[in-house]
Structure 1
Amino acid sequence: MHIRLYTKTNCPLCEKAKAVLMELQADMAFTIEEVDIYQDDALLEKYQLMIPVVELSGETIAYGMIEKETVRKRLRAAQNS
């Protein structure tokens, strides 16, 4: 599985989201790709107020305050499908 994490620099929520994902990696196999929305105008326009955004298979599964259990449930569901 592959997670895309949309972030921006100097973002405490983004750092917390990354830490949550790294904790989950200890139990589940997935890769994390971090994407800075300030490198792409379309992404900046799309996600500006939602950051951080966690995306799995092209679907947004969490944004803002990232809760570990919410992401864990979505990852498990994706593993079992």
Structure 2
Amino acid sequence: MAVDAAVVSMANRDCAAGFAPYTGQSVDTSPYSVAYLIDSHQDRTGADPTPSTVICLLQPANGQLLTGSARR
């Protein structure tokens, strides 16, 4: 698997796993969508086994501004 595909797969999995505990709702049925950023500490050729951090973002699925907390 290519590194880019692996990062996307891992980010989607981990962000989705944290969604329900945070919002109390399923990703599929909520009014929110999830996006992510990768905070890369180094390039992919380094020896560090955990070179990046995934930062999960929650936003309204309709594109409007979030005016309150999504936390349950």
TM-score relative to the length of structure 1: 0.31
Q: More helix by proportion, 1 or 2? A: 1
Query: Rg: which structure is higher?
Result: 2
Q: Structure with the greater relative contact order (CA < 8 A, sep ≥ 6): 1 or 2?
A: 1
